[in-house]
Structure 1
């Protein structure tokens, strides 16, 4: 099992429009495996480093 910590920035309007910003922390290799899936949540998915 792996964990990607992914806080989201944006309000309801951006959520409906699919333009949220998702900031991801955790293992870089795991992030690369799941970034396309996380990308379904918003228009910008960024890796920011380790979790927490």
Structure 2
């Protein structure tokens, strides 16, 4: 699984999960467009507290 992680002001949280890295990268771009104040990363591990 691949995860999109949102980072802003020292806080990180997983916001979505995908089966392929291509899907995750595409959605990270969409998240960035909708919330330019935050940084969105694609990772292979979710943040603590993320439940599948």
Tell me which of the two structures has the higher relative contact order, counting C-alpha pairs closer than 8 angstroms and 6 or more residues apart.
2
Higher relative helix content: 1
Q: TM-score, normalised by structure 2?
A: 0.39
